[in-house]
Structure 1
Amino acid sequence: MRPTITQLDGWNLDGLQRAAEAARANADTLSTSVEDCSRAASAAGGWHGRTKDAATRRIDAEVDHGYEVRAVLLRVADDADDAHRGLRHARTYVLDQKNLALGGGFAVAPDGGVTHPDPEKAGEAGVFQLNLHSGLDEIERLDDLFGARLGESLADLAAMRDGQPDITLPDGTLRDPDAVAIRLASMSEDDRADFFATLSPLAQRQLVIAAPEKLGNLNGVPFARRIEANEIAIRNALTAEKQKPDRDDSRIKQLEAMLAPIPNPAGVGELGTTPAATGAGATPYQDMVDRKFVAFSTEGNGRMIELLGEMDSGAAGVGVYVPGTSTNLNGSGSNHVAAWNIADQTGGPVFLYMEGDFPQSLTSLSDGAPSPRFAAEMAPRLVEFGREIDREVAAGAPGTPVSYVGHSYGGSIVGSAEQLGLRADRVLHASSAGTGVFDTGWNNPNPAVQRYSMTAPGDLIGVVQSYPEAGLSIPGGIRVPGNPHASAELGGDPDEVPGVTRLDTGFYGTALGGHRVGEVVFGPDGHGKYWDDPKSTAFGNIVGVISGGAVTGYVERGIETPWIDVGLGDNGNGAKEAFDAGKAASAGALFDVDPYADPRITDNPELGPRVAVR
C-alpha cells in the first residue's frame, strides 16, 4: 500500500517491533519445551516395551513438528524486525523532507506533490517532490514485500497447526515432507533438479520448512529455495548457539550479521573497508536487502556460500570469489565487503565461496597454508558447485560468462578445481599460492577459457610460487620442501604459465593501512590490501575480468625503499625474490622498521597497457 503523507503522520510502527519480540519469545519457549520433552523421554532408561516405542515415535514427531513451527515463528520475527527497521527509516525520511519543505514556505500535498507561490522556486519544489515520491515509493515497496512475506508465514503456520501437512507429488500421491527430503538427498544432482522442478511452489516451501539444513546444501535444488532454507538454518544455529552454556559470542555476532539486511549492491556506492557497514546499526539506506546464502553449515570453522547481487539476464558477468588462508565464518566480514564491492562495480552476481575449511596458519606444515589437503578437499566441491552455477545461469541469464577469482590459498583451490574439470569462462589467480595441488595440467572443458594472474612486486607469495614442486637441496645436505601447490606439469607460478595473461597490481586508490593514494602496491601488504581498496588498480582488474571490457596489463617495475631494492628481473626469479625477502626481514629485525614502507619507483612508473577481455 502506498500511504498518503497525512496517513504516514499517524503511523505507529511500534506494534511491528512488539510482534517480532513476541514471535521470537514464543519460538524460544517452544524450542525449550520440545527439547525438555525429548530429554525426559530419553532419560526413561528403565522403561521398555511397545508402549515406550509408540510414545518415543510420537514424541519424536512432535519434536520435529515443534522445530518446524519454531522456524516459521523465527521467520515472522525477522521479517517483522526488518519491516519495522525499513519502514521506520523511510517514514522518518519522508516526514523530515515534508517538514523541511514546509519550513521553506512550500506547500506539500498528501500525495507528495510540492509547490511554491514563487515561480523561481519551481526547481527547488521539484527536488522536494522527487525526494518525497522516492520515499513513498520505498514505503510502498517495503509494505508490499513484507506484507507478502508475513502473509505467507501466517498461511504456513495455519497449515501446520496439527502437524506438517503432507506434500502433494505431481502424480497426486501424498508424502511426508521429511521422507521426500530423504529421497531427494539420495538422488543425483540432475535427477534432483528435474524432480524439484515438478513440485508446486507450496510443496517446495513445505520441504524447505521440514528440512532446511538438508535442502540448503543440496546441489540440484534451485538457489532461491536453498537461500530460503539457509535463512532458517542460520536462525536455528543462532538460537542453538545462544542456548549453549559456553556460547561463542563471536559466532553469535556473525550469525546476527548474516540475518541483518544490507544495502543493495546495485548502485549505493562502495562500502569501503568496514564489515560493520552491513550489520545491525549500519547507516540505513533506502534500498536494503536480505543477505542470501546458497550454502551454510556450522561444521569445522563454519562454512557458507554467499550470493551478492542478482542473477538476471542484464548481468555483464557472474563472479566466484574464493578467499585464502585464515578464512573462517566468524572472521568473514572483510571477505563479504570485498565481494559486495565487486558486485557493486560489476553490476552482476558474485558468490563468496567458503564451502570448506581453510588453513588458519601461514606456517604449520600439517594444517596451515603449506598443506595441500584443504585445496584437495575443496576443489571437487567447487567443481560440483560450478555445475550448479552453470545450471542457474542457463535458467536465468543464459550466455553470461562465469569467472573464478582465487586469492592466495584460494588460487590453489581454483587451480586444483580446474585440474579436476571446473568449467569456467575466465579465471583470475590473484596473488595465488600456485597452480594446483594435483600433478596434471588444467582440464577446463571450455576450450575458450581466458586465464589471468597478478602478483604484486615484493609479495612474499612470489617466493612460494617460484619454488619447484620437487623442492631444493642447499649446502649442508638440507632439503627445502617444494611448493605443494605447484603442479608437476604447470609449475607453481601462474604468472609464468603459457596462455595466462599477467595483469598489473598497480597503485592504491584509497589511503588505508598506512598507504597513500597513488602509492604502488608493493611488499607483504601487496598480497591482500588491494582487496580492501575498491579504487585500486588491482581491484579494478578483478572487476574487469568478471564484467569484461578491458583490464590493465602487467608492467615490471623497479622499486626501492631505504632498506630494500627490488630490481628489474627480480620478479619470477626465485633466488632473487628470496634474497629480497631475506634482506627485508633482516632490516626489520635489526632496526625495528617496516622495510617496505615509502616505496619509490625507479623503473617504469606508468600503468601497464590496456588488455581487452573477451
Structure 2
Amino acid sequence: MQWTDEEPDAADLPNLLAHKDWAKDRVDEIDQVGRIVQNTVDGIGSAWVGEAAAAWKSGVSEIIEVLSQCKYEYQSLEAALGPLHSGLSSLRSSMDGVRQVEMAWGFTLQEHQGIAEQRASWLIVNDPASRGHSLETVPTIGCYPDDTPDIQRARIDLLAARDMVTTAEKVLAEAQAEREEGVRKRRTLDSDASAALAAAQAAMPKTLPAGIGDGSGVIPVSFGLSLIRKTLAGLSNQQLRDLFGKPGAGGDLAKIFAGKLPAPGDSVPGLGPAVVAALAALVNAPATLDRREKLTVLFAAISPEDASRLALLFPGLGNIDGVPFTARYDANRINVAAALKSRQDNQGVLDQIVKNAQAKLNQAQKNYESGLTTPIKVDNNPYGPASNVNPYLVLLQQAKEALTEAQNAASENFKLSNMSGDPKNWGTYWKYLNELTPTYAIGADGKPALGPDGNYQQQVGHQILVFSDEGPGAVAEVWGNVNTAKQIGVAVPGTTTTMSTFPGASNDQAKTFMDKAFKDKRFDQSMISWAGGEFPQKIPFVEGAGPTPPKSAGDPSYANDLGQRLYRFNDALAAQAPGAKIAVGGHSYGGSVVGEAEQLGMEADRVLFIESAGTGPGVHGIYDYPHANTTKYYQMTAPGDPIFYSQLSGVHGEGPTFDPGITPLETGFLDDTNRPGSGLVQGVDAHGGVFTKGSTAWKNMYGFYTNQQIEAKAAYSFQLTSPGYQPPLIDVGTDQPYAATHTEQEWQITQNAQNTR
C-alpha cells in the first residue's frame, strides 16, 4: 500500500495479518504432509523392491525436496510479514498519538493566536502605551499606573494567550519530529521486508512435480492433498488399503482424504484424463437418478481395479450412488478410519467437558442447598407472582441437563471409537475396520469357502456401503455378495437408530437372516441393513416425552427425507444387481420410510411393513404407490403392540393393518418349534420381540427375504392355540401382487367393509 511522509503508517494491516497467517498455515500444512509422506514410506517398509519400488521412492524423494523448499519459502514469507505487521502496528499506534496531538494542539494554537491578535489590536487602539506597536510587540508586562481596569485585563489575557501559543508550537514541533522519525522507521521496515520477501521468492521451487499446480510454477494455496496423492500414485490398491488400515498413521492419512471427490484437473495414473474429468463433473452434480445412470455407464467402461483405485484416492465416492459397491467398500474404510481417528482425538476433550459440567453441578447443588435455608423474595419469577423461592432451582436443573448432555456425548463417542479390551466391547468404527466377519463366499466346488481354520471363510472388517459421521450420521452395511445374489433383502430400522445402535439392528434385522440362508444353502442371498440418514430419537408419550417431543417419531419429516434417500439407494442397488429380486422390509418408523420411498416410485419385488408406524406420510392406500400392480405387499403387527395407535392416527399415512391390499402375516409364537406351548409374540415387548430368532415372526421375515414360504395371519388369535389348527401358507415366489386398480372411493368402500367384519 502506498504511503507518504504525512501518513508513514498507511497500510492494510488486516490483509497483511491474513497473509502472515496464510504463510503460517502453509508451514503447518507442509509439516503435516511431511509426516504423512514419511508415514507412507515407513508403512511400505523395505519389503517392496524392484524397478517399481525404485521409481516410487524416487518420486517420493522429489516430493520431499519440494516440501523442504516450500517450507523454507513460507517460513521466509512469515518471517518477512511478521515483523512488518508488528512494526507497522506499532507505527500506527505512534502515528495515531501524533495525529491526536496535532488535532488537539492545532486547535489550541489557532484559538489562542486569535485571542492574542484580538487583545493586541484592542490595546493598540485603547492603550496609550501600546500605540505605535505591532501586534507582536504590544507590551504585556511592566508598571503602567495609568492603566484602567479594562486595559489591565486585556494585558493579562494577551500574556496568557501568548504563553499558550508558545506551548502549542513546542508540542506541535515535537509531534512533527515524531512524524519524521516514523518516516525513517517506515523506510527501514520496508527495506527489511523487501529483502525478506526477495529471499522467500528466491526459495520458491523453480519447478514442481507433474500434476502439482497449473504448470505456472506457482504453488496452489492448498497443495498438500495433491502432493500426498502423487506420493500414493505408485502404490498398488492393496498397498493403499494396508496404509489406510494402520492404526494412528493410517487415521491421519485418512483424515486428509476422507470425503474428497475428484475435481476438475485431477489426474490418476493409468486412467485417461477424460475419464477423471467426466467423473469429476458427475459426482459434483446434484444426486439424481440420471446422474446414477451416467455413473453406472462410466464405471462399466473401466476395470474393477481402476474403480477401486479411484475410490481409494477419492473416498467421497463411498457415498455416491452409481459407484460399484466393492469400490464403495474401499472408500468407506477410509471414511470410517478418518472418523475413528477424529473421535479418538476428541475423546479427551469430551471427557473434560464432563468434568467441567460435574463441577458446575456440584456448585449449583451447593448454591441450591444454601437457598433452602435462606430463601430470597424474587419478583417476576417464572413460577408465578412474587414469593419466597429458591433462586438456584432453575440453575440447578440447567446444570443437571448440561451434565447429562455432556455424558451422553462422551459415551456415544466412546461407543464408536474404543479400541481396547475385549473385542466384544470394541467401538463400532473400530469393529467396522478390524472385526472378523463372514464372507459368505462359495468355492469353485459350489460349497462354502473355508478359511485356514476349517470354518467358513472370514474377512477383516465390514462391508460398509454408506457412511457419514457428520451430524447424526448415515450408514448401510452389506452381508454377502450383491453382485452374485438373486435375492437381496434390504432392512430399514426405526426410531432411536444412531451410529452406535446401528450394529445391533444390522445383526438382528439382516445378518441373522443371512446366516440362516447360508446354512440352508441358499447361496444366492444377500442382505443389506440401511440407515441412510437421521432417525427420530423419541416416542410420543413414552418416558415423559410428551405428545410432541423434539426429534419425535410423531414427526413425518424424517420419513420424507429418508424415503428420498432410500428411493435413490434402491435405484443404485437395482442397477448394481440387475435381475435380482429386491425385498424391502421396514420396522417401526422404518415402515413409514419404506412407504415414502414406495410413494416416490421405488421398484421392489416385495415389501414388508414390520410393526410399522404407517405406510408412508400422506399415503391413503397402496394405490398411491406407482408400482403397486407389480409389487407384493405384506405386513405384520403383533397383538398389543402400541404401534397400532400410530397406525390409527394417520400421521404416517394409512395403517398397514387396515389396507386390504397388504397381506397380513402371522407374528405367532416366541418359539415357533414349540407351538402352541410357547408364549405368543404380543404386548409392548412384541415391538422388538418380532426379531426373536426362531419366533414365528422371525421365520416369516426370513421367508419374506429369501423368497420362500410364509404364514398368513390367522383370522382370529384364538385359532393359533386351537388343536389341529393348520395355518394358511403363502409361497412368496409364486404369490401375485394385489390388483391395485381401485379408485380411492372404491378403496374406501372396500376398507369400510373390511373393518366392519
TM-score (norm 1): 0.60
Question: C-alpha distance in 2, partners of 1:324/1:460?
Answer: 14
Equivalent residues of 1:68, 1:210 under 8 A apart: no
Question: 1:377 and 1:448, CA in 2 relative to 1: closer, same or farther beyond 3 A?
Answer: same
* 1:524 match: secondary structure: coil
Q: How many residues align?
A: 417
Counterpart AA for 2:730: V
Tell me if structure 1 keeps the 8 A contact 2:244–2:337: no
- For residue 72 of structure 1, report the CA deviation from its aligned partner: 7.8
For residue 179 of structure 1, report the CA deviation from its aligned partner: 8.7
Q: Structure 1 residue 287: deviation in Å?
A: 1.8
Greater fraction strand: 1
- 1:538-577 matches, within 5 Å, as 538-558=697-717
Deviation track 1:327-359 (CA, whole Å, cap 9, x = no partner) reads 011111211212111122234111111101001
Which of 206, 226, 231 does residue 309 from structure 2 map onto?
Answer: 206
What is the correspondence of 1:299-318 to structure 2 with a 5 Å cutoff?
A: 299-313=470-484, 315-318=485-488
Distance 2:597 2:78 in 1: 50
SS of 2:609 mapped into structure 1: strand
Number of the residue aligned with 1:390: 574
1:447 corresponds to 2:617: no
TM-superposed CA distance for 1:180, in Å, is 4.5
Judge conservation of contact 2:439–2:458 (CA < 8 Å) in 1: no
| Structure 1 letter corresponding to 2:493 | P
Closer, same or farther in 2 for the Cα pair 1:612/1:206, shift >3 Å?
A: closer
Letter in 1 for 2:731: A
Deviation at 1:221, TM superposition (A): 1.0
CA displacement 1:236-271 (0-9 Å, x = unmatched): 221222222436212211100111243427499xxx
Q: Which residue of 1 aligns with 2:695?
A: 536
Q: Does 1:166 align with 2:166?
A: no
Distance 1:496 1:446, change over 3 A: closer
Q: Does 1:373 align with 2:551?
A: no
Structure holding more helix per residue = 2
Number of the residue aligned with 1:427 = 607
Distance 1:300 1:510 in 2: 41
Indicate the structure whose relative CO is greater, using CA pairs within 8 Å and at least 6 residues apart: 1
| Number of the residue aligned with 1:76 | 242
Q: CA RMSD, aligned part only?
A: 4.2
- CA–CA distance in 2 between the matches of 1:296 and 1:412? 22
CA distance change for structure 1 residues 256 and 285 in 2, over 3 Å: closer, same or farther?
Answer: farther
- Distance in 2, Cα, partners of 1:55 & 1:418: 54
Mapping of residues 225-244 of structure 1, within 5 Å? 225-244=327-346
Report which stretch shifted further, 516-525 or 333-342: 516-525
| Deviation readout 1:535-591 (Å, 9 max, x if unpaired) | 1111111111121221011015557xxxxxxxx9xxxxxxxxxxxxxxxxxxxxxxx
- Tell me which amino acid in the other structure corresponds to 1:307: V
1:506 CA drift (Å): 0.9
Asked if the contact 1:264–1:288 (Cα under 8 Å) also holds between the matched residues in 2, the reply is yes
* 2: CA distance, partners of 1:59 / 1:604: 80
In the alignment, which residue of structure 2 is the partner of 1:149? none
Q: Corresponding residue for 2:179?
A: none
Cα distance, 1:191 vs. partner? 1.3
Secondary structure of the structure 2 residue equivalent to 1:448: coil
Q: Hey, what's the Cα distance between the residues in 2 that align with 1:537 and 1:299?
A: 38
Alignment match of 1:519 (pick from 679, 704, 708): 679
Rounded to whole Å, the distance in 2 between the matches of 1:606 and 1:68 is 70
Using a 3 Å threshold, how does the CA distance of structure 1 residues 65 and 179 change in structure 2: closer, same or farther?
A: farther
Q: What is the aligned counterpart of 2:592 among 395, 412, 416?
A: 412
The SS at the match of 2:319 is coil
Deviation at 1:74, TM superposition (A): 7.2
Q: AA paired with 1:330?
A: S
| 1-structure distance, mates of 2:597, 2:332 | 25
Match of 1:193 in 2: 296
1:188-242 per-position Cα deviation (integer Å, ceiling 9, x unaligned): 1111221222234454333212210x20011111111111111111112212222
State how far apart, in whole Å, the 2-side matches of 1:22 and 1:406 are: 47
The yes-or-no answer on 1:485 pairing with 2:604 is no
Q: Which residue identity lines up with residue 592 of structure 2 in the other structure?
A: S
Amino acid at match of 1:336: S
Runs (4 or more) in structure 1 with deviation over 6 Å come to: 19-22, 47-56, 67-74, 78-81, 601-605
Q: Distance in 2 between matches of 1:178 and 1:517?
A: 65
Distance 1:25 1:607 in 2: 67
1:610 aligns with 2:729: yes
Q: Distance in 2 between matches of 1:324 and 1:453?
A: 15
Unaligned runs of 5+ in 2: 1-38, 47-62, 86-196, 205-212, 248-264, 351-412, 418-426, 443-452, 735-757
Equivalent of residue 658 in structure 2, options 479, 490, 496: 496
Deviates more, 1:425-434 or 1:298-307: 298-307
CA deviations 1:141-163 (Å, max 9, x no partner) are: xxxxxxxxxxxxxxxxxxxxxxx
Is the 8 Å Cα contact of residues 267 and 273 (structure 2) preserved in structure 1? no
Q: Is contact 1:178–1:210 with CA below 8 Å preserved after alignment?
A: no
Answer yes or no: is the 8 Å Cα contact 1:181–1:215 preserved in 2.
Answer: no
CA–CA distance in 1 between the matches of 2:709 and 2:334?
A: 41
Q: Could you tell me whether the CA contact under 8 Å between 1:168 and 1:174 is conserved in 2?
A: no
Counterpart in 2 of 1:358? 535
User: Taking structure 1 as reference, are residues 201 and 527 closer, same or farther at Cα in structure 2, changes over 3 Å only?
Assistant: closer
Residues 257 and 556 from structure 1, CA distance in 2 versus in 1: closer, same or farther, beyond 3 angstroms? farther
Identity %: 26
Gaps of 5+ in 1: 1-18, 82-163, 269-282, 470-483, 560-567, 569-600
Q: 1:325 aligns with which of 491, 495, 510?
A: 495
CA radius of gyration, larger in = 2
Residue 349 (structure 1) aligned with residue 450 (structure 2): no
Change (3 A) 1:549 1:24: same
CA contact (8 A) 2:240 2:312 kept: no
Give, as a single letter, the amino acid of the residue that structure 2 aligns with 1:318: I
Amino acid at match of 1:185: N
- Aligned equivalent of 1:296: 467
Q: Secondary structure at the match of 2:311?
A: helix
Residue pair 2:478, 2:526 contacting (<8 A) in 1 also? yes
Cα distance change of structure 1 residues 550 and 165 upon mapping to structure 2, 3 Å threshold: same
- Contact 2:245/2:337 (8 A) holds in 1: no
The equivalences for 1:458-477 within 5 A come to 458-467=640-649, 469=650
